[in-house]
Every structure is written in C-alpha cells, then in structure tokens.
Structure 1
C-alpha cells in the first residue's frame, strides 16, 4: 500500500434536503506533507467529533482501487481524491487484508488499525444522493481508521510498512459486514 494523495478539508456549511449541516467531508489533495497528530490531522477541520477524529479515528484512509466502482455508479460526479472524506488516498488498500490491531510505519508515523468508517448523511451530501449510504454498506469498501501511535508527517509516495501483525483479530471487511447486517 502506498499513499497517492494527502487530503485536507475546511469547515463547510451546506443545505441539503431543506436542512443545514456543518461538515468537513469536502477534502481535497494538497501538495505538501500533512501532519498526523494524536487525535486528528493538523489543518483538517473535523466537525462531528462523535464520529470523526479522536484517538481511535485520528486518520482516515480510503483505497484508490475502489474509485472505479463508485465512478461507474456516479458518472456525473467529479471524482477528486478526498471525495470520501479521506485524509489518505491509498493505492491497493484492501479491507479484507487489513486487520484490527495491525500496526504500520508510514512516513514519520506509526499507525494502528482501529475500525472501518461507517457512512453517514455527510457522504450522501458529498455525493448529492442519499442512496450512496446504503450502497456503501453493501460493499466492503469502507476504508480504514487509524490510531496514531507516533505522530509525524506523511506525504505522497510514502509506503505502509507492516510493523506488527495482530493475531486473531477480524479484518476491517469482517467488522464492516457485521455492522452493516
């Protein structure tokens, strides 16, 4: 797995289906390294701290390998990296091969796999279609949340180096499937 885009977002107020939301899901690629802190990514606005940010959800990574699947379902959208709200867009991220508790070295950081991302209304807002939430649950393309064990900078082309394998833990895909059923 290799980082192909680092993405940041600013707080944005949107009106969708006659309701106003504050969101940080509108993330876009940046051309400099990003700093992964203990509870979030520096300069990345996190709005709903119940579901984003914090120790267990400090960094969100999503697989570039999943983009074509979504492009086929939503050909009208412009698919920039970060569209899923991810801080890291990663080449060859397969949730079936990533296990809760696995530890990776990435750039200057050490990251521990914690859980899959659960889709919420903000993903529907970003896609301008609430159906994406149900479709997201029907896949194993959840992406991965990480805890930051060692803070530091990450940049494009940094590779995930497996530092510690977690034994007898479920894959991110397995955890996601159980939550969605």
Structure 2
C-alpha cells in the first residue's frame, strides 16, 4: 500500500496573468476532513472547470517527476510534490496500473477514480514551460481525479489501499490513449460512452464524437482559456 503525501492550496494570483488559481499546493502536516467536494482548506478559483464532486481530489504520481526533470531540466518546482497542483502524491501508482472506477480507502474516507486529469493553460503558467499543458496531454502523464464515496478524515502519511475494481480493463492509460491519441477508434468510443463509472463530462466526449464524427478542439483550454 503506497503512503500518501497530502497537499492543499488557497486561491492566489497566478504568475504573469491577471487570473487567480488554487493550483499552488503545499504539503500539510495535520489531519484534514475530506468531503464530497474536496479537502478541508483546499480551494479552486474557477468552479466551472475545476473542483466539484467529480474532481474532489487530484492525485499525481511522484513517479513522473523524474521523467519531467529529464525532459525539462532540474526546475525547482519539480524537486518536491505539488508542482502539478495535486492533493495526493504517491510512489507506486501510475496511469498504467490505476483504472477508472477503482475504489480506495484513504484514511477514514473512501474515494473512487472518476476521470483522468485534463491539463489546462494554468498548469503551463504554474510550471513556466511554454507548452507544458500540451506536453502533459501528449505524454499521458496526467494524473487523475477522485470522487468521494464516504467522507472522512485523511492524515499525512496515511496509506492508500485498493478496496475494489469496478472496471479493471479501463486503465487510465487506455482511456487517455482513446481520447487523446487514437481519437476516433469507434470500438473504444462505444466502450467509453457506456462506461457509467466514468465522469459524465468525459463520457460525453465519446458520445459527441460518435454522433458528429469529429474530435473536439481543446486548443483554447490548453493555451489560454477555460
């Protein structure tokens, strides 16, 4: 069972913009209450696209940090957990091994993987690399979100324990590959459209593609809009 690092952040100005964001997360050293919309003391600035029940907790593998340092150099922001705005950091869990619908015990709470993380332009400003959001999308090193099935207290250094696998074939890597790489694979899109444990917003991507025969344009989200 991996041990967690627990992080939260308050809304603050985003460097080099006229926007605010809660992406700057810091390690906490005391137990926090986890409810259906997130951790005690954690904030999101734009609730249209961040936070809410399907994005209550963001988990980013610390396993990826070494690869990012290889790609980008030894940026200070990549030296410790929190660079990607995550609430949970671990070693030993990645998109290859975690599936949509997986249920975990996290301290006194139960959480379920709801969707992958869709990077946006605020991550680019956070890291300070011009095309960072696109790099995250392209590599599949995205992290993921949890919905909260049972509220409870979560403490630093708690273990995260797998309780059940609802859709083990649908790893986050497979989901990412279908939505971002092999984007009009009809078999995969039909599978995603019927994957009821997946967050509705992501299921709708598949449904719209099946209906329209087209892939949505995410450039505004990646480069400078919501």
User: What 5-or-longer segments of structure 1 have no aligned partner?
Assistant: none
Q: Deviations over 1:35-88 (max 9, x none)?
A: 211012210111121222111110011111111111222423333311110001
Indicate the RMSD between aligned Cα atoms, in angstroms.
1.6
On the 8 A contact 1:63/1:94 being kept in 2, the answer is yes
**CA–CA separation in structure 2 for the residues paired with 1:65 and 1:109:** 24
Q: Could you tell which deviates more after superposition, 35-44 or 158-167? A: 158-167
Flag the 1:131–1:103 CA change in 2: closer, same or farther, 3 A: same
Q: From the two aligned structures, give the one with the greater helix fraction.
A: 2
On the 8 A contact 2:102/2:168 being kept in 1, the answer is no
- Partner SS state of residue 156, structure 2: coil
On the 8 A contact 1:61/1:144 being kept in 2, the answer is yes
Indicate whether 1:163 and 2:130 are aligned: no
Q: Which runs of 4+ in 1 moved over 4 A?
A: none
Instruction: Name the counterpart of 2:76.
Output: 77
Indicate whether 1:11 and 2:11 are aligned: yes
Instruction: Name the counterpart of 1:40.
Output: 38
User: What 5-or-longer segments of structure 2 have no aligned partner?
Assistant: 182-226
| Larger Rg computed on CA atoms | 2
**CA–CA separation in structure 1 for the residues paired with 2:40 and 2:10:** 11
**CA–CA separation in structure 2 for the residues paired with 1:136 and 1:76:** 16
Q: From the two aligned structures, give the one with the greater strand fraction.
A: 1
Larger relative contact order, structure 1 or 2 (CA cutoff 8 Å, min sep 6)? 1
Q: What is the TM-score with the length of structure 2 in the denominator?
A: 0.74
**CA–CA separation in structure 2 for the residues paired with 1:159 and 1:117:** 22
Q: What is the TM-score with the length of structure 1 in the denominator?
A: 0.91
On the 8 A contact 1:104/1:112 being kept in 2, the answer is yes
On the 8 A contact 2:100/2:167 being kept in 1, the answer is no
Indicate whether 1:124 and 2:136 are aligned: no
